[in-house]
Amino acid sequence: MNTQYLRDRTRELFRGMMAAATERRLHLELGDAELGRLYKELGVDRDGFRGLLLSGGEWRERLPRMMRRFGVKPEGIAEGARLEDMQRVCAGCPAQYRCARALARGDNAATCAAFCPNADTFESLQAA
Ligand code: SF4
């Protein structure tokens, strides 16, 4: 296990803890029903919401790059529920640091599939 991996995992765990703490605060302030309405409005579940809480907009750049890593052309994906679903998953992804590093290193699809929650969708798009 290398030092960079440990740094990435530590950042991810810290982000997760911060998101969970923010969510707990919102829960106390808004209550179950209001928070549930917010999830619904954003089209996310609880985990997705935590990811969104601390997500920057970097996923917009990472998603098409990762698609290409899997041999999928982003420009060939039609707007619609499938694209929105991939975007939602990517925006709330807990592995964003690992993703950025893997993309920078040029890791292949098999390596990225081990942590990318969109990997199955990319693979099904490859097969289509
Ligand atoms: S690892 Fe996460 S951030 Fe990277 S492409 Fe997959 S879903 Fe998006």
CA distance 104 to 5: 14
pLDDT band at residue 23 using 50, 70 and 90 as cut-offs: confident
Which residue's structure tokens are 């829960």?
27
Q: Which of 77, 116, 122, 123 is the best mutation target for the ligand 1 pocket, counting ligand atoms within 8 Å of the beta carbon and taking the most?
A: 116
User: What is the whole-number distance in angstroms between the Cα of residue 7 and the centre of ligand 1?
Assistant: 18
Q: Whose CA is nearest to atom 1 of ligand 1?
A: 116
- Residues with CB under 6 Å of ligand 1 are 59, 62-63, 66, 89-90, 93, 95-96, 99, 115-118
Q: Whose CA is nearest to atom 5 of ligand 1?
A: 63
pLDDT band at residue 5 using 50, 70 and 90 as cut-offs: confident
* Tens of pLDDT, residues 26-85: 888 888 888 888 888 776 777 767 766 766 677 888 999 999 999 999 888 877 778 888
Over range 90-118, report the average pLDDT.
Answer: 90
Angle at 27 between CA 21 and CA 31, to 5 degrees: 175
DSSP per position, 103-116:
HHHT--HHHHHTT-
**Contact assessment for residue 52 and residue 91, using Cβ atoms and an 8 Å cutoff:** yes
